[in-house]
Structure 1
Amino acid sequence: MSDISFIGLGEMGSAMAGRLIESGHSVHVWNRSTGAADALVAAGATRAVSIADALSVGTVISMLANDAAAEAVFSAEALADAPAGTLHINCATLSVEATDRLTDLHSLAGIDYVAAPVLGRSNIAAAGKLNVVAAGTKSAIARAQPYLDAIGKRTWAVGERPSTASLVKIGVNYNLIHALQALAESVTLVEHGGVDGMTFVEILTDAAFTGSVYTGYGNLIARKAYSPPGFSVGLGLKDLSLAERAAAASGVVLPTAPVLRDMFERALADPELAPLDWSAIAEITRGLSTAE
């Protein structure tokens, strides 16, 4: 096994870094808020003292929250100090535009760049069963594959332009957001007819919708079990915004996007819902329905 740095230690990043440690890799960890690294250091990771220290390892995985965070950390100045031939595997969901900008910056610095956004929640990451959508040069993806194999059960290579992977992940998340809203509406409908929400979700997912999205989020919505959040309402709106921007850039019309945006903005405006899991947008739909 080899040395690798992991940058971005939120819930998802910490789970992925922990999985790499369990897989036998020597993992160096860095986060903008230093306390996030403590548990991983206790589990055997090495603390990187700066972004330059993390990049000096030569292979880096990052899982930062959004475009602004990723571009601030991986600036031209930071990349200029990285060793020649460094590999950066970016597992976050970023916009197409930011991914293209980062690709250009890495190319100018002589760094191999792979966009490899992941599908799954933190418990899936900890088990090494994520699905990974990867794009980059064939040689860069080949270099990245041992690390992707440690965190995921399958890697889908979708092209040599890294932003292609970002676009695919944006499309997946747009579909997932629709599933959350569909669950919210159907659960609310049957609840108002006197049917237990959990019973309905069991019926729905036994045969017609057997995937993890419907079973997992259906249970959360039926039980109103939105805390602790696996993925926040704010991050959900961020991903919806990425879909809207990608559509606008391509001349694609997304007719349901305004409705979904309204659900997220209402949830974020509610101080009780804003800190919860993104499936908590279901409570907006529940609140729109008339009382019995």
Structure 2
Amino acid sequence: MTDVSFIGLGEMGSAMAGRLLETGHSVRVWNRSPGAADALVESGATHATSIDDALGAGTVISMLANDEAAEAVFTAEALATAPAGTLHINCATLSVATTDRLSDLHALAGVDYVAAPVLGRSNIAAEGRLNIVAAGTARATTRAQPYLDALGKRTWVVGERPSTASLVKIGVNYNLIHALQALAESVTLVERGGVDGITFVEILTDAAFTGSVYTGYGSLIARKAYSPPGFTVGLGLKDLSLAEQAAAANGVVLPTAPVLRDMFERALADPELAPLDWSAIAEITRGLSTDG
């Protein structure tokens, strides 16, 4: 199948690149820390020697950690080396402002740009069952769709302005953060009353809250099973910050955001919690409980 480069080989990016290999794509991989590519190369990928080499594939998918990483990699200088008609599918969760800047840079370089942030953890990515929110020109999203079909079970195209997809993903993650805190508080409540947290989560998720967020994260919180992290506390605070920024830009007040920020900042300040899965913010709520 058509050659594609994958840029950004953290846990999520590696799983997505591996999925592309499994579905028959010829994949060129590149990461700012070269060692991250080794396992994928052993599985059949080729190692791009530079960002210019990666862009040379003509189709690029990226999964970089944050705004700073994305803007450091996809500079005007780098994009100028891309062949005419190159397509870039950016699957990371970035801010609206950064997505707009990247969209402008790509347009100036003649590179089609699709923002396609994904919903799901790395195990879901490895199975090709991600949900994907995409936005870009009709031509660009049509070109991107075969790759998105390999990576996900469903794609929602939400508009022609790429940052629209970023805004939708930010809204989804803001809901998810609330779910983590709601689970933390309710599990702590029943635990303090002598009820087993795992039993409570089973009751909660059998009928009322059957989605993967409550079943998956509810289990992690009840069992305190935060390692290995699927998504770290630091990345969780990054996503909360994106929601706060988007709200400020749109004149929206988020009354609960300060409380959620406090939970994440306390977790990041704790050296035992900071490297764990973002659901570990539940331990802050547990720690607030008092005896008697």
What TM-score comes out, normalization by structure 1 length?
Answer: 1.00
Per the alignment, in what secondary structure is the counterpart of residue 218 of structure 1? helix
TM superposition shift of 1:291: 2.6
Specify the alignment match of 1:269 in structure 2.
269
Distance in 1, Cα, partners of 2:20 & 2:37: 14
Specify the alignment match of 1:282 in structure 2.
282
| 1:56 equivalent in alignment to 2:56 | yes
How many residue pairs match? The answer is 292
Distance in 1, Cα, partners of 2:290 & 2:137: 54
Per the alignment, in what secondary structure is the counterpart of residue 89 of structure 2? strand
Q: Deviations over 1:221-263 (max 9, x none)?
A: 0000000000000000000000000000000000000000000
| 1:225 equivalent in alignment to 2:225 | yes
Specify the alignment match of 2:130 in structure 1.
130
Distance in 2, Cα, partners of 1:143 & 1:157: 13
| Residue identity matched to 1:105 | L
Distance in 2, Cα, partners of 1:58 & 1:291: 61
TM superposition shift of 1:136: 0.1
TM superposition shift of 1:219: 0.2
Distance in 2, Cα, partners of 1:277 & 1:290: 25
Q: Which runs of 5+ in 2 are unaligned?
A: none
Distance in 1, Cα, partners of 2:67 & 2:78: 16
Q: Deviations over 1:71-114 (max 9, x none)?
A: 00000000011101100000000000000000000000000000
| 1:119 equivalent in alignment to 2:119 | yes
| 1:152 equivalent in alignment to 2:147 | no
Q: Which runs of 5+ in 1 are unaligned?
A: none
Per the alignment, in what secondary structure is the counterpart of residue 155 of structure 1? strand
Per the alignment, in what secondary structure is the counterpart of residue 183 of structure 1? helix
| Residue identity matched to 2:231 | F
Q: Deviations over 1:267-291 (max 9, x none)?
A: 0000000000000000000000013
- Over 6 Å off, 4+ runs: none
Distance in 2, Cα, partners of 1:220 & 1:160: 37
Per the alignment, in what secondary structure is the counterpart of residue 154 of structure 1? strand
TM superposition shift of 1:201: 0.1
Give me the identity figure in percent. 87
TM superposition shift of 1:183: 0.1
| Alignment RMSD | 0.4
Distance in 2, Cα, partners of 1:47 & 1:64: 17
| 1:96 equivalent in alignment to 2:96 | yes
Q: Deviations over 1:12-37 (max 9, x none)?
A: 00000000000000000000000000
